[in-house]
Chain A
Amino acid sequence: MKATPLSNCERRFILRAIEERKRLDGRQCYDYRNVRISFGADYGCCIVELGKTRILAQVSCELVPPKPNRPTEGILFFNLELSPMAAPGFEPGRQPELLVKLNRLIERCLRNSKCIDTESLCVVAGEKVWQIRLDLHLLNHDGNIIDAASIAGIVALCHFRRPDVSVQGEEVTVYTPEERDPVPLSIHHMPICVSFAFFQQGTYLLVDPSEREESVMDGLLVIAMNKHREICTIQSSGGIMLVKDQVLRCSKITAVKVAEITDLIQKALENDQKVRKEGGKFGFAESIPNQKITAFKMESATVDTNNVEEQAEEIITKADPPSEVFAKPILHTPGTAQIGEGMENSWGDLEESEKEEAVEEEGESEVTAFECEKIETEDTSTMRETKDEPIVLSDSEEEEVVILEPQELPKKTRTQTSSKQETTSKKAFNKRRKKKRAAH
């Protein structure tokens, strides 16, 4: 599906609005859109909505051998997918430049900032470690994917619980959630990305650009920071030149936004934990607002299955009973048999047609096939192959055999009767069996 292009009028309109410090959705320049976090029923699963941008995150784990150069560290794997659902321009199985760039940023934000303690993921040094895998799926693209992805990623990692393990000697036991409570990952800090879009060569600046704004921006600055005001990653793209003050201003804004978002994340995590502890309802179903008219819920409904047996029985008895078996297999040669009739197989007709041909060809001295294959079992008594003489094979009365003596001029021996009996001999190689065909 093709991406919808942005018209020139739209482009001009947005840029003009930005010059007048107005945004399409009514936000101020430094305003962040609403962030909403909802958790799934599984651990390590969440959906983060940043305005209309929506990202699904899922963390999973697996026991694997560690990398040889880091035998005591767990393995982290991050993968962001741009689902074709998110925007019409995204195609499955393609790696557009944007995706590569985003994945690099996620790597830098979550891996290189060392926010996850990888050493705590080691089970047996050099043998078994946990591999933590974070899958991020963009579900709806309304700009600023990276911020939403970084929030979703860190929330999912904080929410995730891996199975507890114990090591006794060489035995590694993995406990089910029923046996032992799963363990959370040890997370040192929460890096969060904040994006700034620049317009008119850096004159105007917007926080958290929407998709439309992104499509007209000149450059983008992404700063990843944790709540301790430590910058984890900073990246400017789009080829604009920024003044030092601008970068500093951005980092100050980032600090404020990160503090707000971190608070929100912590609140959301606490809330979810509380609900789970108290045995309340949780999962995506709870995150659907009841008052929305586009949403509808139905409580568990009973289906009357009282007399399904009778009804099913009725259908079966009404149907015709299984018919008698008609088809009788016809055995051609050991290992080959046939049932049914009707449409002729384009491979199968060779036996008959070649027989006909053979009649025509009688007398011509053309070579038709090499034949000096050993023939097993019952045929060996009459069929023998000798080295320097033409090979003679003939026990079956009606079988025609053509032999090529490879050294000299081709000779052939053919014995044939015109009877059309079913072949009893087994011809090993040249497939000239005759079939008794029902059609005749």
Chain B
Amino acid sequence: MTILEQFQQWLLNYWPSWAAYLVPALIAFIIIVIIVLVMVLMFIYMERRIIGRFQIRLGPNRAGPFGILQPVADAIKVLIKEDIVPIRADRWVHYWAPIITFFPALMIFAVIPWGQGAIFADLNIGILYVVAISSVGAIGIFMAGWGSNNKFSLVAGMRTIAQMVSYEIPLVLSIGGVLIIAGSLSMMDIVEAQNVPFFLLQPLGFVIFFIAAASEINRSPFDLLEAESEIVTGYHTEYSGMKFALFFFAEYTHAFALSTIAATLFLGGWRFALLPGPIWFFIKVLLVFIVLLWMRSTLPRVRVDQLMGFAWKFLFPLALINLFITATEAIIWPGFPWWLLFLNFAIAALLIVLWSGLFPVPGEGVSFKRYGRGIAKGMALTFKHLFRHPITVQYPEQRLTPARRFRGYQLVWYEDQCNGCRACARACPVSIIDIETRKGEEKGLVVEKLEVDFGRCLFCGLCVEACPVQALFMSRDYEKASYRREALVMNKEQFIAAPDKRSAYAYPDLEDEMPPQTLLAPPKEGR
């Protein structure tokens, strides 16, 4: 009996029956929604930070300590944005699509066991319910693709249907192996049956499940629905504001749901030594999610025909064979002794290597070398980068010193040096230097007017090179921006008032007095 049911039984002693059933159920529902929302926000945060580290950059770290409030900030930003509906969109379909995508993802959590007895509804049909409900999400995505009246979205919609329908089959078949061993559809029973975690007894089933599920939730390398480089963002190209947020949330809710299901079916759910169940459960869920992130940051995307071919020619037959083998084992060794895992691992490796031979790379003959070795190598390399130092810097706090010869924003002009020869104005390719001179009393020529439009400047340095008297320098300044173009025009007074940040461009003698440039790869000492 689950905790929820015990609570209801206890309440029945005091409350009328309808309240005793309804109130605890509502409370449990709210708790689950809160867990899901918090976890999804955490997933979004983790995804951005961890992928950042895979890519040797910092990742978002501004909002809150370690950027932990970043997803909250994102959520607020996206919620207060204007909701745009294309004028020729199918309004109702466009409106309902995100809702229909999001709620099935949320409903999956009704049957997820978080710990011993901690489940909302221990349904008899547990896993069947999960599979059935998650198939509804495809309709929402398709509605978005159709309702947006955008061709990119429509292409994404076509891809959705094909992908979801195809990958559902190996997904269900790979779960079949688990069900044979556990002898029940109920999620609680499946966890109870895992004295040996099922990914050891069902290695092939686990691999197929993981790949098919990654495809079901449109994760790389199967993220064809929102393939940015091909169809912009696919089905949610035309969505903004709250509706986009719902799609975004649905995506991560799906990812979370998949991780929990994988943890429940194959990794032994909450069961493990020492720590209390729910903690183990969350650790396992996070592990699954990190593997998804790792895949996303390494692998290129498959093409749409390869996607279908992979489902039908690779996953589907292997899932069938796996089911057959498991059923055979169930007859011969009904108790599924733990040593079966060696046999199953051997079978899995053999089948994957053999079957991969059926997919020759164009131009190559049939070879059994393409079983995923290259993928593994690449994943190893990205994993190594996870521990390397990020190369990006925290900009306004942490500044790089530009080169000594830096040709930066605005010029440095020495009035007393200038003899008004106008060589700079003649050298300028874009003719932005405007000088007017008059005859002076002490000097030959005095500059009356000097105006430079830095909005059009190329920063080519030809004026500085042309100056015969060392009156004009490039500057080492690189930060100036303005909302108005006119503010970028500098006149004589501004030149005189400007800080003297001259650079050594065209004046190599000045270089010694400048700080050295920050280099990403500075030369080693002692050279």
- A and B pair up: no
Residues of B within 8 A of A (CB): none
Residues of A within 8 A of B (CB): none
